[in-house]
Structure 1
């Protein structure tokens, strides 16, 4: 039979390269267009079945035009607000009626009880999108006509405007920082010119494809994207695609040094690394899809979007990258081109020394590292996940935060964010009395047709009325949460009222409860998924159980360190309710990645060399590439810190630190030492546990 012509061998890699160049050229721009289908309206990301979500839907009937309030706060530069200043303020806001984005007549200026400040409410359209910061600026400019005062804008509209500013340019800024960090690390670690560029191109192609798919689905309402999901998708794809590419490129280099022929080397590299790469990707993708069990819409949004990103990362790694490496051959690693003598090297001398230390005293190594992690994990219980106060949502000095603080100093703490009560009109008086008698409630006023609470007869819609209860405590405080709980108990007790309590504080309270419920449901699902994948990959039960236990311990240790750093170094008094769950999904799934890379190679070597030598050889051959992959992934997640939001800063630290802890301690010391100490029994009930002389 005739051998395949030499030219025919190049058809597949050339075809793959052409296809990916077409994907990159056609779909690449979608990495910068995802913001067009993203929404930063946080009201859309509430628990599906919570009471506050029902109120959010019901209150729409009481608004002639959907609106979001901007609260203007004037403070006197002297001692007290004068009558002339109050009149000037009312005239200034009256002039905004019918203006750009204003959907109702603004309320007149109201002076605070201490006489040092006044406020007015301007209702803005909910569909302003990127124009919202501009409209808020116009409101501020009109309010500045009141001489002798300092003007600030508070309320939901101002917060959304600051949020839009925080996410402005997220596509270019975040992607640029992440890619620059990855490129710098790869250049320093591999001292190669072309390989880092090829890996970066592979990751960018994967991101372009993922963003195009997500864009198409979001545009059709199949998935939902906000700024947080958008940022995490970019980081996740760049980090995962780079990790998978490093594993494949390292295996290709090893096979190229051994075989000499680039085509044979590529086939062997793909064959021997595809299992670990796909298993690793499956743990992350399925772990993310487990978020579909959440009752929080933003968690469910991240699940499929993240899984799409992981799938595109694997596709690029197993198709584009091998094609590029085949065409480049040894030139990909220039100036450190692989030589035939390199094939028998057992890893960098540093990793040979680490392996020797573990081999001499495996029990001492794993016990000491496990104790260290247990001590750190002990601090995890001090991490508060009861939500981030309004003044900590932004890590910089956002204007809306300062305005809200000013508002709280001069008016009841809940001003601008009242508890909203929807009840039957026949029991409205009783419900209002019950609300007014609740400790922590400053005032209760009905919504009216004019939009000015309490000045006219209540507005009745389908036999229901709306009451706004201003709380004495700040809307984001624990005291306000307690007031809402009491308020619900009292109004629910009014027979026939069918009363519901919502609003900002109720939304935060319901979100915290739902997040706690999600953790109890999703954590076991993720652990079960990972355990099944590891059992299938490693053909063992005991080793997968040990791996899952070590990454779970690593997660708790990371939370312990995060609790100390957040409180004592970064000044956070709490974390977003979803932060622990996000941190768990990312850290456990990604942490298992490195153990999969290690243990799949250990098993491969153990089948030839025996259990003990298999661990040592697997550690030394994968040590460098897995460590560099961990550093790259940590750096990409750390790039999220460029977005000045506490949620993303907290997620960035947890994942970056946790990945480094997992890579440098758990995967490098704890797992190898533990498997060596247990011996062949660690592979029970697989064939390795019964091999004669396998130790």
Structure 2
């Protein structure tokens, strides 16, 4: 099968097929942003109470109206001139395209220090970008703060505009940042001015093809894609694809030292490295597919998007990349071309020397390493993944945050984002009484009736994104449930339901991903002990990465907390992607163990794969670190935690902990397969350690 990809004439067929794919996929990939869904339905948990209320609201009027609140504030008290300005602004605001209905205001605050004006904005098919354009015109119409009068913009429209600007150019920003990071790392890894181009080209083709497939599924099959999943797709395809490329190129270079014919060398490299690459991609794809079971739409939508990206990336790296490598020939490796008959440098390199040192006292090494990782995990006590308030969601301080703070200083805190209660009109009086009598509700508006339904809007006494407001929503629900089929929604209720959905997803998906990875490792390694040992190291690595990240977020970056989806995303990325390195290492160890025994196989496996695993880890860490280029705390936190976790995994867990465990357990690592009954030979210490020719005593 490998010969079909890299044969003397079939390599040109493979290249031609990918050229056709690129020609077809290019125009389709450019349309992906046009089918992204970034409205509430793309992020909310399907079927939640807040989602049901949002659907019912469309019966009472247009569901595409988003209000903006203009706050005029003067610390010493507003003047008649301030009121004249605010009144004149209303006339200008009414003329802005995109402002619909009646602009309400200016309404004075009871403390005499502010006015507020409510501006209803209609959202058209352009979604977020349209809101940004209208909000910019609203800001221009009201002018900047001057002469002691501060003008702020608050409300859902202002928040949406700031979020849209944060996501604006996410695809381009991530793509260029990721390209720069991967290019620099590959240049350092290969030390060749040309070789790095082929993995980059292959990953770029894979990204374009996957975007085209996802566009078609979103357009015709109902796949939900938003800005978050589209951005993460770029990182995944480049990160994982480059990892597969590094493993294949390393094995190809190894075979080039053994064979004159580069076609034969590539066929053998694909035959030997292919199963590990395919198993790694299958693990990631299946692990990501588990996200489909999430209640949160944004999380469940990410599952198929990520899985498709990984599958297309795999196809490119085991077909297009091998064809390009054999077409170009050995000169790609210049200035250090691998010639047939030359020694393999990894046999006496730094990883071989590290293996020799670990082999002296493997049990001590893995015990000490495990204790250190356990100590790092103590930082989990600092983890506060209970969601981020609006003011804490951005790395900087956007104008909408200042506007909400100004609104809260002079008006009821929840006025810009009311609680929405919808129930049967026949129980209108009872519903209103129950809502009004709930602690934490400042006031309840007049009923709006449509057919057999009634809608009330209530104002929260606390800030809409505060813990106190969430508690109020729970009390309102307790009060109205059972009365006229009443349901409670609004922005605060949406946030509460999102947090609850994330808690559910954490409990369901994390154990499921662990089980999937365990089964795949068991099938691949034909063992029970090895997968259990590897899963234990993965969990320990994840906990250590999360613990250190929590400390850094709190005491270095000054972040207020973590998003409720943070643990799940970091877990899925670290486990599903980090398992690649387990597979790369352990498939090579097993291959060598069949010939030399497990303990010597562990040392040869580390020597042969240590460099490529480290390079792959650095590439993957660099691509996820690119998420920090976005001005959103949630992305910055995921980027840092995954990048740190991947580096910890490759430099410490895979190279030291797993190797030491393999040396200590020996053949029992493969129980109950036949390999567990093959007695180990003593582990030889490489010559560079200064003990050449001496075998270590067998590890008991």
Structure 1 length normalisation: TM-score?
A: 0.94
Q: Partners of 1:314 and 1:145 in 2: how far apart?
A: 53
1:101 aligned residue (84, 98, 112):
98
Matched position secondary structure for 2:329? helix
Q: Partners of 2:70 and 2:660 in 1: how far apart?
A: 63
Change (3 A) 1:303 1:426: same
The residue that corresponds to 1:490 in the other structure is 479
Q: Partners of 1:80 and 1:498 in 2: how far apart?
A: 45
Q: Partners of 1:64 and 1:199 in 2: how far apart?
A: 50
Cα deviation digits, residues 47-104 of structure 1 (max 9, x gap): 112111111111121124631111111112x611234433542342244336311221
| Matched-pair contact (CA < 8 Å) for 1:86–1:110 | no
Cα deviation digits, residues 256-314 of structure 1 (max 9, x gap): 11112100001001111111001101111111100111111011100000000000110
1:125 aligned residue (104, 117, 122):
122
Q: Partners of 2:552 and 2:305 in 1: how far apart?
A: 30
The residue that corresponds to 2:279 in the other structure is 279
The residue that corresponds to 1:227 in the other structure is 227
Q: Partners of 2:189 and 2:7 in 1: how far apart?
A: 32
Deviation for aligned residue 1:476:
0.9
Matched position secondary structure for 1:523? helix
Q: Partners of 2:359 and 2:398 in 1: how far apart?
A: 54
| Matched-pair contact (CA < 8 Å) for 1:41–1:160 | no
| Matched-pair contact (CA < 8 Å) for 2:12–2:323 | yes
The residue that corresponds to 2:66 in the other structure is 68
After TM superposition, the structure 1 = structure 2 runs for residues 507-518 of structure 1, keeping only pairs within 5 Å, are 507-518=494-505
The residue that corresponds to 1:464 in the other structure is 453
The residue that corresponds to 2:311 in the other structure is 311
1:542 aligned residue (518, 525, 529):
529
Change (3 A) 1:84 1:255: same
Deviation for aligned residue 1:42:
3.4
2:589 aligned residue (581, 602, 615):
602
| Matched-pair contact (CA < 8 Å) for 1:583–1:655 | yes
The residue that corresponds to 2:300 in the other structure is 300
2:359 paired with 1:359: yes
> How many residue pairs are counted as aligned between the two chains?
674
| Matched-pair contact (CA < 8 Å) for 1:389–1:476 | yes
Q: Partners of 2:145 and 2:429 in 1: how far apart?
A: 39
Change (3 A) 1:158 1:322: same
Deviation for aligned residue 1:360:
0.5
The residue that corresponds to 1:692 in the other structure is 679
The residue that corresponds to 2:18 in the other structure is 20
| Matched-pair contact (CA < 8 Å) for 1:637–1:656 | yes
The residue that corresponds to 1:449 in the other structure is none
Deviation for aligned residue 1:147:
7.2
Matched position secondary structure for 1:96? helix
After TM superposition, the structure 1 = structure 2 runs for residues 384-399 of structure 1, keeping only pairs within 5 Å, are 384-399=384-399
Deviation for aligned residue 1:604:
0.5
Change (3 A) 1:594 1:426: same
Q: Partners of 1:260 and 1:686 in 2: how far apart?
A: 36
Change (3 A) 1:167 1:612: same
- Return 93-102 or 396-405, whichever deviates more: 93-102
Matched position secondary structure for 2:449? coil
| Matched-pair contact (CA < 8 Å) for 2:210–2:309 | yes
2:320 paired with 1:333: no
The residue that corresponds to 1:651 in the other structure is 638
- Return 370-379 or 14-23, whichever deviates more: 14-23
2:272 paired with 1:254: no
2:465 paired with 1:476: yes
| Matched-pair contact (CA < 8 Å) for 1:228–1:648 | no
Q: Partners of 1:352 and 1:154 in 2: how far apart?
A: 61
2:129 paired with 1:140: no
The residue that corresponds to 1:450 in the other structure is none
| Matched-pair contact (CA < 8 Å) for 2:255–2:268 | yes
Q: Partners of 2:448 and 2:441 in 1: how far apart?
A: 22
Change (3 A) 1:488 1:505: same
Cα deviation digits, residues 151-208 of structure 1 (max 9, x gap): 2211111122112212222222211111111111111121012211111001101101
Q: Partners of 2:600 and 2:649 in 1: how far apart?
A: 23
Matched position secondary structure for 1:195? coil
Deviation for aligned residue 1:123:
1.1
| Matched-pair contact (CA < 8 Å) for 1:96–1:106 | yes
2:67 paired with 1:79: no
Deviation for aligned residue 1:480:
0.8
The residue that corresponds to 1:425 in the other structure is 425
The residue that corresponds to 1:151 in the other structure is 151
The residue that corresponds to 1:375 in the other structure is 375
Structure 2 length normalisation: TM-score?
A: 0.93
| Matched-pair contact (CA < 8 Å) for 2:425–2:454 | yes
The residue that corresponds to 2:441 in the other structure is 441
Q: Partners of 2:370 and 2:563 in 1: how far apart?
A: 29
2:518 paired with 1:531: yes
Q: Partners of 2:342 and 2:462 in 1: how far apart?
A: 69
Matched position secondary structure for 1:10? coil
- Return 131-140 or 300-309, whichever deviates more: 131-140
Change (3 A) 1:20 1:49: same
The residue that corresponds to 2:580 in the other structure is 593
Q: Partners of 2:51 and 2:63 in 1: how far apart?
A: 19
| Matched-pair contact (CA < 8 Å) for 1:52–1:506 | yes
Matched position secondary structure for 2:442? strand
Q: Partners of 1:54 and 1:146 in 2: how far apart?
A: 40
Q: Partners of 1:554 and 1:541 in 2: how far apart?
A: 20
Matched position secondary structure for 2:257? helix
Q: Partners of 1:688 and 1:329 in 2: how far apart?
A: 38
The residue that corresponds to 2:549 in the other structure is 562
- Return 567-576 or 622-631, whichever deviates more: 567-576
Cα deviation digits, residues 351-386 of structure 1 (max 9, x gap): 122101111110111011111111112222431111
Change (3 A) 1:422 1:350: same
The residue that corresponds to 1:668 in the other structure is 655
- Return 36-45 or 11-20, whichever deviates more: 36-45
| Matched-pair contact (CA < 8 Å) for 1:69–1:157 | yes
- Return 261-270 or 215-224, whichever deviates more: 215-224
| Matched-pair contact (CA < 8 Å) for 2:144–2:150 | no
| Matched-pair contact (CA < 8 Å) for 2:199–2:242 | yes
- Return 565-574 or 215-224, whichever deviates more: 215-224
Cα deviation digits, residues 561-581 of structure 1 (max 9, x gap): 111111111122221111111
The residue that corresponds to 1:11 in the other structure is 9
2:110 paired with 1:110: no
2:636 paired with 1:638: no
Change (3 A) 1:65 1:244: closer
The Cα RMSD (Å) is: 1.8
The residue that corresponds to 1:45 in the other structure is 43
- Return 684-693 or 588-597, whichever deviates more: 684-693
Q: Partners of 1:660 and 1:470 in 2: how far apart?
A: 48
1:629 aligned residue (605, 616, 638):
616
Q: Partners of 1:14 and 1:628 in 2: how far apart?
A: 30
After TM superposition, the structure 1 = structure 2 runs for residues 126-205 of structure 1, keeping only pairs within 5 Å, are 126-127=123-124, 128-129=126-127, 130-144=129-143, 148=147, 149-205=149-205
Q: Partners of 1:29 and 1:150 in 2: how far apart?
A: 47
The residue that corresponds to 1:214 in the other structure is 214
Gaps of 5+ in 2: 1-5, 683-700
Q: Partners of 1:563 and 1:9 in 2: how far apart?
A: 51
Cα deviation digits, residues 652-692 of structure 1 (max 9, x gap): 01110100010011001000101110111111011210113
